Amino acid sequence: MIPRRSRRTLAAAAGLLASLAVIGGTLAAGDVRLSNDVGGGYISAYTLATGNPYTDNTLDECAVARGRQNEPAVEYDPRDPNVLIGSSNDYCGVYQPPGDPAPSPVGPIWLGYYRSENGGTSFQSSLVPGYPDDHSPYAANAHVRTASAGDPVIAWDNHGRVFMGSESSDDPSGTKKTFGDVWVAVFNNPKNPGDPGFTTADDGKAFVRSEVVNKGSSAPNLLGVFNDKTSIEVDRTGGACDGNVYFAWSRFTGNGTNNIYVARSTDHGASWSKPQSVSQVAQDVQFPDISVTANGHVYVTFRQFARKNGQQSAIDIVKSTDCGATFGPAKTIQTFIPYDADAAHEWIYIVYDPSKPGTQVDTGTTYGSIDTGVGSQSGVYFLRYDGASGGTTAPALIDSQTAGHQLFPDISAGGGGVLHAVWWDSRLDPNYSAKRPIGNDANGATGPSLDVWGATSADNGATWTGQVRMTSVSSNPNYEQFANRAVPFAGDYLWVTSHGSTAFGVWTDWRNAVAGPDPREASAEDNDAADVRQCRTFDAASGWSGDTCPHDGGLDQDIFGAPAP
């Protein structure tokens, strides 16, 4: 089964952009690949911005990798809807050097930089500068200390700058330390309005810098302070706080507790304020999401997990009325029964994916979504929080279905009361059952089971219409592509962005993964159709070799995107 943690499920801000029109019909035919790690699809961000040639082993590997990508993000440029920047945890450079008949996993996991200048019709794939093998002229401006990075989050200002946040792990010197830093990269337009040759098509194209927002304690195996579960937003209101960048994360301390922290930058990411804790007395809190309303007030929503001390599964919120300098007390706005998963005028829009009341069933096995042996159906719920009054609307299903699980929702506000939501959905899985994990039949075999669906609301979430399937192909999220081809991993989130009359969503996709036998699995109960193409030899003294054909498609996990309703 796939991991069922959600990430960017607490809603985006209200009231900053113009209205969106409802898009009807099916959108599935328009999905497009963002991570083009086949046929020479990656180039250096330096080359992309300047036209000057540069490459290295990592980029050469990415051009042919057929590797893994997950946890995507994407955002429209608010001043040019033809420009979109996407990202993901990109494993394309892991197997090096290119052309090695038995490549070893020695390269970095890094932030993808996927750029479209045609409204999302196609994307040029690249990497955010600063990865360990980067020797381009941009590398010196990446002031980060890590051998790998991931969990991308993206936000634009109104002046051609895009900010890409990340968490970091792995020590470049090869020790077992997990650094746990969080940092933000900045790209801008190399020219200003009025300069010869200026065009908004170059917004977010030139890398400026990466700066650490907060450091972890560099302890082995996540036992120290480790910062994770990031979120980012920029004030685009045109008011007194315009251009402020806000960054939030969950700080894990290695002892089972964690808190939500927030920092801000008032100089376009060149420096960051001292982080402040905003979760106060709540413990075991994750998945912050930042919203900025039209009056410049800043909200941070986050997920609170149930604990034995009486703390319930809930969505909490905090508010700042002074441009993020300080935040008021945290407030619980909705409790719920989890689905082994979670979520995310002056209105904040929130979507989350709990168990649907009344769908609890005895699974007859140790599997359970609520508790051991207790399964359920999950659904995507919407609620609206009024920051001025503190009131909320009643939670309501966006797309009520009798079959299929819905999970990992995201929401975007286009202005004028128009909202857009996307989520993973298994309603087309012929083997769906609330008693079983996603994609599993009664015999434990897996198959194509996940699609991405979207919907829109023209009345601030009072009603939802235009529910459509965005994927043209259902895919199997249970392919065992991680931990030496032993476990699946889908990532923690999907993403939707909106601008004017358009919206665009991105997701992790397995349509190009090549299935194949795992020679290490011999028993009948291993026939779960989740194994991928791999090549191994056996030696009586040393056992099974590693996979010697990682480029053959077994690891082909991609980022796809499409127009959203």
**pLDDT digit string (tens) for the chain, length 565 residues:** 232 223 333 333 322 222 222 222 333 447 999 999 998 899 999 999 999 999 999 999 999 999 999 999 999 999 999 999 999 999 999 998 777 777 888 899 999 999 999 999 999 999 999 999 999 999 999 999 888 999 999 999 999 999 999 998 877 767 777 778 899 999 999 999 999 999 999 999 999 999 999 888 766 665 667 778 899 999 999 999 999 999 998 887 766 678 899 999 999 999 999 999 998 766 778 889 999 999 999 999 988 877 766 677 888 899 999 999 999 999 888 877 666 533 346 899 999 999 999 999 999 999 999 999 999 999 999 999 988 888 999 999 999 999 999 999 999 998 888 999 999 999 999 999 999 999 999 998 999 999 999 999 999 999 999 999 999 999 999 999 999 999 999 998 999 999 866 899 999 999 999 999 999 997 756 779 999 999 999 999 999 999 999 999 999 999 999 999 9
Contact indicator for 53, 76 with CB cutoff of 8 Å: no
pLDDT of residue 308: 64
Non-local (6+) Cβ contacts of 196 within 8 A are none
Rounded Cα–Cα distance for residues 342 and 469 (Å):
22
| C-alpha distance from residue 152 to each of 103, 201, 349 (Å) | 27, 22, 21
Other Cβ atoms within 10 Å of 318 Cβ, number: 21
| Amino acid of residue 319 | K
Domain 28-563 has CATH 2.120.10.10: yes
Strands (E), 325-417: 331-335, 347-352, 361-362, 374-375, 381-386, 396-397, 406-415
Question: For 408-444, how does the pLDDT look when each residue is reduced to its tens digit (9 = 90+)?
Answer: 999 999 888 899 999 999 999 999 999 999 999 999 8
> Using CA atoms, how far apart are residues 561 and 28, in angstroms rounded to an integer?
10
Predicted confidence at residue 28, as pLDDT, reads 43
H-helix or E-strand spanning residue 35: none
Angle at 357 between CA 356 and CA 358, to 5 degrees: 110
Model confidence over 257-274: pLDDT tens digits? 788 999 999 999 999 999
CB atoms under 10 Å from CB of 121, counted, come to 12
For residue range 182-222, what is the model confidence (pLDDT) as tens digits?
Answer: 999 999 999 999 999 999 999 999 999 999 998 887 666 65
- Summarised one tens digit per residue, pLDDT across range 157-189 is 999 999 999 998 877 767 777 778 899 999 999
Query: What confidence score (pLDDT) does residue 367 get?
Result: 93
- Cα–Cα separations (whole angstroms), residue 414 to 14, 349, 366, 418: 8, 12, 43, 5
For residue 92, give the H/E element and its range: none
Q: Where are the alpha helices (DSSP H) in 63-105?
A: none
Closest CA to 384 of 324, 315, 448: 315
CB 532 within 8 A of CB 515: yes
Give the tokens for residue 493: 């989130």
How far is Cα 471 from Cα 448, in angstroms, rounded to an integer?
12
Decide: 415 and 15 in contact? Cβ < 8 Å: yes
Give CA separation, 290 vs 54, 183, 420, 517, in Å. 37, 16, 17, 44
**Phi, psi torsion values for 547, nearest 5 degrees:** -75, 120
Sign of CA dihedral 310, 315, 319, 323: positive
Question: Where does residue 336 fall: left (phi above 0), alpha (psi -120 to 50 degrees), or beta otherwise?
Answer: beta
* Helix H or strand E encompassing 402: none
**What is the C-alpha to C-alpha distance for residues 287 and 8, in angstroms, rounded to an integer?**
7
Q: Which residues pair with 220 in a beta bridge?
A: 177
Distance of CA 7 to the CA centre of its chain: 7
Q: What is the pTM assigned to this prediction?
A: 0.91
Q: Going edge to edge, which strands form the sheet with 32-33?
A: 32-33, 558-563, 502-509, 495-499
What does the domain layout of the chain look like in residue ranges? 28-563
What pLDDT is attached to residue 500? 63
Q: DSSP string of 418-457?
A: EEEEEEEE-TT-TT--TTS-TTB-TTS-B---BEEEEEEE
* Residues 436 and 447 sit within 8 Å (Cβ to Cβ): no
Alpha-carbon span 270 to 208, nearest angstrom: 9
Can you say how many angstroms the Cα of residue 501 is from the centroid of all Cα atoms in its chain? 23
pLDDT on residue 426: 97
Listed in sequence order, the residues at least 6 apart from 310 whose beta carbon sits closer than 8 Å to its beta carbon are none
Contacts 24+ apart (CB under 8 A), 276-282: 276/326, 276/327, 277/251, 278/248, 278/318, 278/327, 278/330, 279/316, 279/318, 279/330, 280/329, 280/330, 281/330, 282/311, 282/316, 282/330
Distance of alpha carbon 264 from alpha carbon 231, whole angstroms? 12
User: Count of CB atoms within 10 A of residue 274's CB?
Assistant: 8
Cα-based distances in Å from 365 to 368, 373, 435, 437, 528 = 8, 6, 9, 11, 17
Which residues are bridge partners to 301 per DSSP? 289, 317
Distance, in Å, from the CA atom of 423 to the CA atom of 470, rounded to the nearest integer, reads: 10
